[in-house]
Structure 1
Amino acid sequence: MKKTPLHSTHQHLHATFTEQNGWQIPAHYGSVTAEYHALVEDVGVIDVSTLGKFRATGKDALGLLNRLSTNNLMQMEPFHAMSTVLTTEKGRIVDLLIVLKSKKQELLALTSPHQIETDLQWIENYTFPLDDAHFENVTDSFGCLLIAGFSAVKVLSDLAGKPVEEWSIHQFDHTSIDHVPCTLMRTSDLSVPAYYLICPAEYAPLVWSAVVANGATPVGDQAYQTLRIETGLPVGGYELTKAVNPLEAGLHHAISFNKGCYVGQEVVARVDSSKKIKHSLYGLRLEGDQLPAPQDKIYTETEKEIGFITSSVRSIKLQQLVALGYIKNRDFTAGMDVIIRSQTVIRAKTSTLPF
């Protein structure tokens, strides 16, 4: 079982741990409800060091990533990042990446926690022998924090010594937190202002302590997942898999429709031009107290199969169980009654996102 650079810090905070994608991470620090309210009303800090990270160097590295993924990475400006999707030949999702471009042309990419080795192997499969492109797994070399909430701007502006409120999504800069060199990037994750703070792994506890000392509440995975699902944010391993294409997952922001060819481009373009997106990600409000499991099937009341579950949680906002799932667009109507076949039959009503 892998542990993040902040594991000892979490132990000192008496965190309750859970396992996720081969990592031991904090589930909560005592009160999931209090941690959730810190995110939606004030500011929380989450250890997301489990995100995969790889460094790409060489004059052909950017071009190679560009021809393997959906967005036009060649248009990236220095100190800006882009979301882009690695896709299969059939236009299905391998992984969603965030690629950061520094002034020196060196690239750093963030991947889903469980996908780093798969992503690097996928890239290697399409790398020609003469390509000047080198990709290094640096996941264990860096800690990564997600600072989120309406007070995140003030906390980070004070710590970094520079205003970050007006930053655009995926704008980033190099800064220093308590004399530790860090990369600070605004992200579109969640329904509240959110920023990634990336730092050398050995100094992650020091950076965490500085963020907490400036007012952020430590938040575990349960509160994060609650807000993620309420927001309708798709993530790798749950909503983002080879079972769906980027358009079905709502990743339009990570797709360029006028760039050159990339792996899977013809399929993605054909789905877009024909407007025939078969499934989309929707919400479900559940009756009862049983959470469905990923891949549980969704049916109409007349027993017609129309989709499947990806994630579920007890919503603090709605005070009921909710789920995310892919449902056939031709069968979807907001508020319709459906049946989920899990260990027992669960009745639910469909919902648009966010809840």
Structure 2
Amino acid sequence: MPSHYVRTGDISVLIGDDSRSLLHSVSTQHLEDLSEGETQTCCILDANGRIEDRLLVWNLGDQIALTHMMGRAASTRELLVRSRSWKQNVDVIPLDEGFSLLFREIQGDHVVNRVEQQGSVHSTIVRSLDTLEIVYLGPSQDIEILSEDFIERCSNLRDPIEEDLYRIKRGHLTSSGLDQHRPIPLEVALDSDISFTKGCYIGQEMIARMDARGALARTSVTIETDTAIPPGSQSLAGGGRIIVMSSVEGTDSWWSACLVHPDVAHVGSSLHTKQLEGVSVELNIRNSWKPSSD
């Protein structure tokens, strides 16, 4: 059954002639060249190359809209304000009330990263790993009407737990996972968020070293288990560790987004946690997500 998800908040708007150059200076992508009517995903990193926020950037002509990961807008806004020089004409405006987003998976061949507009609602199609998704941005009342229309057409409205489960099964980084562990973009197959020819952004040195080395210490996998496994780093039987970023209970099992060494990230194989109080959990790898260059 098709489904969709609606959320409000963690949306920002930049207004001013220098909006793209300011974003360009702090993000992992070439955004100075983002044309009107186009969108682009990118990351905001810390000095160690770890993800602080993931953005979908919309060039709407008279303004640049930013959709943040849940709970991450405030820190990114603060970074933009701190990074703005006295010469730059940019206002950073929160849109945490009155505007919403709707996410809906689609099938088939579509043009990605192009903005469409119908009334007061803008939309764009983005690709995340194997998922093609249309994202709608607009006033909350209009997004609610759109959601009700999808429900009438037999689309299920996902609640926050169902949304996390949906994302984990598809290898997507979740807000709850980012709260537990902040990965490097390449560890979670977000190489499409990075311009490897762009320098001079926070965390760029770490990304450049990993790209030059051509090898990852960790890669993301989707794990299915019969029982819950706590978030954080867990020891594996036989050596090594697994980092559990987020975990959600499904219908008959638990699903988790994890990081493991690439040598053991084999779909269909099983890992076991080191026995703790006589109990070892079997970890069944259902999907492995690696950068497209691998």
1:283-309 CA distance string (max 9 Å, x none): 2232x3x211221x332323x342210
1:282-335 CA distance string (max 9 Å, x none): 12232x3x211221x332323x3422101223455xx53332211133554551
Q: Could you say which residue in structure 1 is the equivalent of 2:236? A: 300
Q: Does 1:88 align with 2:35?
A: no
1:50-87 CA distance string (max 9 Å, x none): 4x110011122111111101111123222111011111
SS of 2:164's partner is helix
Could you state the TM-score of these two structures normalised by the residue count of structure 2?
Answer: 0.86
| Residues 276, 136 of structure 1: alpha-carbon distance in 2 compared, 3 angstrom cutoff | same
2: distance between equivalents of 1:125 and 1:245?
23
Confirm or deny: 8 A CA contact 1:306 1:331 kept in the other structure: no
Q: Which runs of 5+ in 2 are unaligned?
A: 290-294
Give the Å deviation of 1:88.
Answer: 1.4
Superposed CA RMSD in Å reads 2.6
Q: Does 1:121 align with 2:78?
A: yes
* Runs of 4+ residues deviating >6 angstroms: 340-343
Confirm or deny: 8 A CA contact 1:190 1:228 kept in the other structure: no
1:13-35 CA distance string (max 9 Å, x none): xxxxxxxxxxxxxxxxxxxxxxx
1:169 corresponds to which letter in structure 2? V
Q: Could you say which residue in structure 1 is the equivalent of 2:177? A: 238
2:262 paired residue among 326, 329, 346: 329
1:312 corresponds to which letter in structure 2? S
Give the Å deviation of 1:281.
Answer: 0.8
Q: Does 1:291 align with 2:228?
A: yes
Q: Could you say which residue in structure 2 is the equivalent of 1:76? A: 34
2:112 paired residue among 157, 169, 194: 169
Q: Could you say which residue in structure 2 is the equivalent of 1:102? A: 60
1:227 paired residue among 166, 172, 189: 166
Confirm or deny: 8 A CA contact 1:308 1:325 kept in the other structure: yes
Confirm or deny: 8 A CA contact 1:240 1:249 kept in the other structure: no
2:104 corresponds to which letter in structure 1? I
Report which stretch shifted further, 126-135 or 250-259.
126-135
SS of 1:144's partner is strand
| Residues 241, 250 of structure 1: alpha-carbon distance in 2 compared, 3 angstrom cutoff | farther
Superposition pairs for residues 262-301 of structure 1, below 5 Å? 262-286=201-225, 288=226, 290-295=227-232, 297-301=233-237
Q: Does 1:312 align with 2:270?
A: no
Q: Which runs of 5+ in 1 are unaligned?
A: 1-37, 151-164
SS of 1:188's partner is strand
| Residues 333, 347 of structure 1: alpha-carbon distance in 2 compared, 3 angstrom cutoff | same
1: distance between equivalents of 2:275 and 2:218?
19
Confirm or deny: 8 A CA contact 2:177 2:257 kept in the other structure: no
Give the Å deviation of 1:240.
Answer: 7.5
Q: Could you say which residue in structure 1 is the equivalent of 2:145? A: 206
Give the Å deviation of 1:169.
Answer: 2.4
Confirm or deny: 8 A CA contact 1:96 1:236 kept in the other structure: no
Q: Could you say which residue in structure 2 is the equivalent of 1:247? A: 186
Superposition pairs for residues 151-190 of structure 1, below 5 Å? 167-176=110-119, 181-189=120-128
- State percent identity of aligned pairs: 14
1:253-277 CA distance string (max 9 Å, x none): 0000112422221221111111232
Report which stretch shifted further, 60-69 or 183-192.
183-192
